[in-house]
Chains A and B, each alone.
Chain A
Amino acid sequence: MEEEATKYIWEGAIPLQIKLHESEITSFPPPPPLMILGLRIGYLPLLVPPLKAHFSSTLPPGTDNVWFDYKGLPLKWYIPTGVLFDLLCAEPERPWNLTVHFRGSPGDVLTPCEGEESVKWSYINSLKEAAYVINGNCKNVMNMSQADQYDLWQSLLKGNMEGYLKISSKLKLGPFGEDSLPSEESEIVASSRPSRIPVRLYIRSVGEEIVDIEDAPIIDSWDKISYINRPFEIYKEEGGYVSLKQALKSLLPETFNTNSSQEESSTNVKDPNAPDFEDDNAKLRLVRVQGIEPDMDIPFFWLANCLRNPEFYLHICVFISKQPKLR
């Protein structure tokens, strides 16, 4: 089952229609947009070679400084393409219409991207971070041979799943939920260490009045999105299985705030005619992982094992509505 899931993820791609920003068009008639598939697990700057080939004859003179925008929002290049799509298109747009710029990257908003090297560095850094979350150290990634690092990156670039699996399996970073402690650690230490899963959460707040999520307004600033880069932790004694919903609640305690709101309602005088609200402060409207809307009761570890990205992070897009306050 997990192999099928990995295949699904590696084959997933977003149909993109990328046009050149009008300020950079020096020819008439203007060039048509480029239709290209963006791998879900890939990154937008990796599409620059075909984009450059397509648009080079019309570009103004100067050095390239490539960046992308979606309806005016500069796109963060280190977020996988599939995650950007799931997060920014409440209603999936096919093809996804993006604009590419070759000049004037907004340095006050975007960290600079110097092409493939920057993306590779960001990828390896995320892989190191994931290794640290899982094992408590990043030795296995730091000790990768140059050849392995090169092959791993090339596999990702080309969407070569078999090549990737050959090398990633040497890192011994999964599956989540199984004991991956080295043999010299004592039993006592083993049981006191929690299991940690690398998770990146992207949260959008949607007005309660919006009935259909697909009508959610376009994001015009990254300030409207909360990004949480935090491992999910669970101690083995807690037993049972954790559902996706429980995992999300534990990663967003203030948002759901179950305990304190219960206390408040017991001390406030309640209007007997007022509608009964859920205990939570916020309501989960939509959860997307790899383009799928998983069932909230799905076992979280299983979801993480099946749908994680190649750098071992599980990226989750969450749309939330805040509950109206009690009056």
Chain B
Amino acid sequence: MRGVCTRSGSLSAADFYASAIYFSQRWNETNSDFPNWVWIPCSRLGAISEDEGYLVLEKVKLQTERNDSNLEELNNCDSSANDELTDEATLVDVHSHYAHLYDLHIAYSFTYKVPVLYFRGYKSDGCHLSLDEIKEELPSHSVEILQKSKWTFMTQEEHPYLNTPWYTLHPCGTGDWMKLLLSSTSYGENISLIQYLPAWLSVIGQTVGLRVPLELYSRS
């Protein structure tokens, strides 16, 4: 079932797949600084699914407090630098041993009929970050939101397709806030469900410090 989303903040599995492919293509076209999102099809009992799977963005540097303060430190230390901001992408290459990297996966919840974010963080030596360490890194407003919001909170759960523990933002409130988001006038009427993931990520991305480039939202 494809279609226009007006009443609920959720989407079908088929719509999730369509939106995921659209979103990853747009991202890969417009966002050369970041690695590509890749669709991993679900493989079960030797049969590879045509339309069930999840999106993966791996070893990405997020816009976290820690990485931002590294940026400041480096700016202050470098006495010969001019006053312009240095290119963040260059800094990653040169100083990547400071940066924590993250894996982000987006899977579909058949219960709540919404996307769900799963993520893990790594230190430079490859060790996993604990929940407390991740919370320390998150943008400060996001930690506040997570503590106060009844709509979203972070837990550790098993990844729906890999048999390992991942951190996740609980999806039970997603339908409610997506309904509000999609009905707001900035999206206009008759928003196609293919736009669901970029819209969803514009909110979720802020929680974990993932910047979504504005070009992604321009209609192609």
Q: Which residues of B contact A229 (CB under 8 A)?
A: 110-111, 160
CA distance A282 to B46 in the complex (A): 11
CA distance A231 to B44 in the complex (A): 18
Q: Knowing A111-B158, A132-B172, A138-B172 touch, does A257 contact B164 (C-beta < 8 A)?
A: no
Q: Which residues of A contact B165 (CB under 8 A)?
A: 107-112
> Chain A: which residue is nearest B44 at the CB level?
A226
Q: Which residues of A contact B172 (CB under 8 A)?
A: 128-129, 132, 138
Q: B65 an interface residue at 8 Å Cβ cutoff?
A: no
CA distance A163 to B44 in the complex (A): 40
Q: A133 an interface residue at 8 Å Cβ cutoff?
A: yes
Q: A307 an interface residue at 8 Å Cβ cutoff?
A: no
Q: Which residues of A contact B160 (CB under 8 A)?
A: 227, 229
Instruction: Check A109 against B164 for contact (C-beta < 8 Å).
Output: yes
B208 to chain A, nearest CB (A): 19
Given contacts A226-B45, A229-B160, 17 further A-B contacts (CB under 8 A): A76-B158, A108-B128, A108-B164, A108-B165, A109-B163, A109-B164, A111-B157, A129-B111, A132-B112, A198-B111, A203-B44, A205-B46, A230-B110, A230-B111, A254-B49, A255-B47, A282-B45
Q: Which residues of A contact B128 (CB under 8 A)?
A: 108
A-side residues, CB < 8 A to B, are 76, 107-112, 128-129, 132-133, 138, 198, 203, 205, 221-223, 226-231, 254-255, 257, 281-282, 320, 322
Instruction: Check B46 against A322 for contact (C-beta < 8 Å).
Output: yes
Q: Knowing A109-B164, A111-B156, A112-B156 touch, does A132 contact B111 (C-beta < 8 A)?
A: yes
A-B contacts, 6 of them at CB < 8 A, read A107-B165, A111-B157, A129-B111, A203-B44, A205-B45, A255-B47
> Chain A: which residue is nearest B163 at the CB level?
A222
Q: Which residues of A contact B157 (CB under 8 A)?
A: 111
Chain B, residues 101-133, CB within 8 Å of chain A (1/0): the string is 000000000111000000000000000100000
Instruction: Check B111 against A231 for contact (C-beta < 8 Å).
Output: yes
Instruction: Check A322 against B45 for contact (C-beta < 8 Å).
Output: yes
CA distance A223 to B45 in the complex (A): 10
Contact of A255 among B44, B112, B156, B163 (CB under 8 A): B44
Q: Give the one of B49, B112, B157, B172 with max A CB within 10 A.
A: B172
Nearest 7 A-B pairs (CB), nearest first? A222-B163, A111-B165, A230-B110, A254-B47, A226-B44, A205-B45, A129-B111
CA distance A109 to B128 in the complex (A): 13
Q: Which residues of B contact A76 (CB under 8 A)?
A: 158
> Chain A: which residue is nearest B176 at the CB level?
A137
B4 to chain A, nearest CB (A): 16
Instruction: Check A320 against B45 for contact (C-beta < 8 Å).
Output: yes
B44 to chain A, nearest CB (A): 5
> Chain B: which residue is nearest A110 at the CB level?
B165
Instruction: Check B158 against A254 for contact (C-beta < 8 Å).
Output: no
CA distance A229 to B120 in the complex (A): 22
Q: Which residues of B contact A110 (CB under 8 A)?
A: 165
